[in-house]
């Protein structure tokens, strides 16, 4: 193939970094650890009733309505897509293309990859000590530019809560320029127990991104949404392809949104397990655990490659993060079912003991 048929930006972009592993204890993608049986049944019933010969709605109005009710948000300010990743791309197309994409580093990889893909000017401000929001650096980067700023709060893949007051000050400064859209990615908000919806109500240039892939347990269905000022939402809908959310997705989404009690129960379980796993990790010599308000934990070890491989050999999949700036030695583990977490902790202790023995 003549490589020149592909745009420079695409040729230069490395493939998304993800290695699939088939080991039984899967703790590498921050998913809900299982399908809640009651939810699975509710989804199956709705899916069975879907008319697959017909196109879905141009936009999934019924789902938008259910999401609006859940958050007390205007219906016409809800935009749904096949995962929040798609909405990140739509935001770059709508506000970053030919302009700038501003974010922090390290953070969720999709903001930077979409900026590069679409040839936007990418500005990455390093996180402060303790993975803190670099408020001054972010505000300084607004000057003489316009575009879209992406901030994940809770932060990912670090798992910490950002300073809400600092984030609000940044968003107000961005709003005051008249040329910046701020997208707050709240993929893990359910686990953290706080959100920035008030800020998005106050500022028409702030949108909140949510996903049904994590707490709602629908990673396989691919559903994400954003809450925005209705005028902004109308523009973002133009960027999405028509009929992009299918009937099967709508059925699954509606079934889950009807059972907030089941989602809340799983979130509670994940929070309890996070506390337990973090405490156990802290007891292991050679491991540093970072604070998390999410369903995953970032931890530092001396030899992340060896620990990752050792865990794989014992049937446990975690995610390497040590390739990211500022995350030398870091691995990320999702909070799973209690038995999975036990398998992880036992395996990790075993791997570390072997490492120490091997070093003499």
Ligand X SMILES: *Cc1c(COP(=O)(O)O)cnc(C)c1O
Name the residues that contact ligand X, by CB under 6 A. Answer: 30, 83-85, 108, 152, 156, 185, 187, 211, 213-214, 219, 224
Give me the least distance between CB of 41 and ligand X, in Å please. Answer: 23
> Which is nearer to ligand X, 170 or 188 (by Cβ)?
188
DSSP state of 324: S
Tell how far CA 186 is from the center of its chain. 7
> Which is nearer to ligand X, 213 or 292 (by Cβ)?
213
> Which is nearer to ligand X, 108 or 344 (by Cβ)?
108
> Which is nearer to ligand X, 196 or 214 (by Cβ)?
214
Concatenated DSSP letters of 127-192: P-GGG---HHHHHHHHTT--EEEEEESS-TTT-PPP-HHHHHHHHHHHHHHSSEEEEEE-TTHHHH
**Closest alpha carbon to 289 in 339, 331, 345:** 331
> Which is nearer to ligand X, 310 or 319 (by Cβ)?
319
Give me the least distance between CB of 302 and ligand X, in Å please. Answer: 26
- Please, are residues 248 and 260 in contact by the beta-carbon 8 Å criterion? no
Give me the least distance between CB of 215 and ligand X, in Å please. Answer: 10
Q: How many other CB atoms are found less than 10 A from the CB of residue 156?
A: 20
Give me the least distance between CB of 150 and ligand X, in Å please. Answer: 9
Q: How many other CB atoms are found less than 10 A from the CB of residue 255?
A: 21
Phi, psi angles (nearest 5°) of residue 352: -65, -40
Give me the least distance between CB of 196 and ligand X, in Å please. Answer: 14
- Please, are residues 186 and 197 in contact by the beta-carbon 8 Å criterion? no
Give me the least distance between CB of 288 and ligand X, in Å please. Answer: 22
Comparing every residue's Cβ against ligand X, the nearest one is 83
> Which is nearer to ligand X, 29 or 146 (by Cβ)?
29
Tell me the H-state helices in 35-83: 37-48, 61-71
Give me the least distance between CB of 192 and ligand X, in Å please. Answer: 12
> Which is nearer to ligand X, 184 or 280 (by Cβ)?
184
SS3 202: helix
């Amino acid at each position: 193939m003549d490589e020149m048929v592909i745009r420079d930006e695409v040729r230069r972009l490395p493939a998304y970094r993800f290695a699939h592993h088939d080991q039984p204890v899967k703790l590498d993608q921050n998913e809900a650890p299982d399908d809640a049986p009651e939810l699975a049944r509710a989804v199956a019933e709705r899916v069975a009733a879907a008319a697959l010969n017909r196109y879905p709605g141009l936009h999934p109005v019924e789902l938008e309505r259910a999401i609006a009710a859940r958050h007390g948000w205007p219906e016409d300010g809800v935009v749904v897509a096949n995962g929040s990743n798609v909405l990140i791309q739509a935001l770059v197309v709508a506000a970053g293309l030919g302009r700038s994409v501003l974010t922090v580093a390290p953070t969720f990889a999709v903001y930077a990859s979409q900026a590069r893909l679409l040839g936007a000017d990418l500005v990455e401000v390093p996180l402060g000590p303790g993975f803190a929001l670099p408020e001054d650096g972010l505000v300084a980067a607004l000057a003489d530019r316009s575009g879209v700023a992406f901030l994940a709060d809770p932060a990912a893949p670090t798992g910490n809560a950002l300073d809400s007051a600092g984030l609000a000050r940044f968003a107000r400064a961005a709003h005051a320029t008249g040329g910046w859209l701020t997208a707050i990615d709240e993929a893990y908000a359910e686990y953290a127990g706080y959100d920035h919806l008030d800020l998005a109500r106050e500022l028409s240039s702030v949108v909140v991104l949510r996903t049904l892939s994590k707490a709602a347990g629908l990673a396989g269905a691919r559903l994400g949404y954003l809450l925005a000022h209705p005028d902004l939402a109308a523009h973002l809908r133009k960027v999405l392809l028509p009929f992009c959310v299918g009937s099967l997705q709508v059925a699954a989404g509606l079934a889950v949104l009807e059972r907030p009690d089941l989602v809340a129960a799983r979130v509670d379980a994940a929070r309890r397990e996070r506390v337990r796993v973090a405490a156990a990790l802290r007891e292991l010599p050679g491991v540093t655990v970072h604070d998390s308000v999410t369903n995953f934990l970032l931890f530092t070890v001396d030899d992340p490659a060896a620990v990752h491989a050792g865990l794989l050999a014992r049937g446990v999949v975690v995610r390497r993060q040590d390739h990211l700036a500022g995350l030398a030695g870091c691995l990320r583990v999702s909070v799973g079912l209690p038995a999975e977490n036990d398998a992880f902790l036992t395996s990790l202790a075993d791997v570390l003991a072997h490492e120490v023995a091997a070093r003499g």
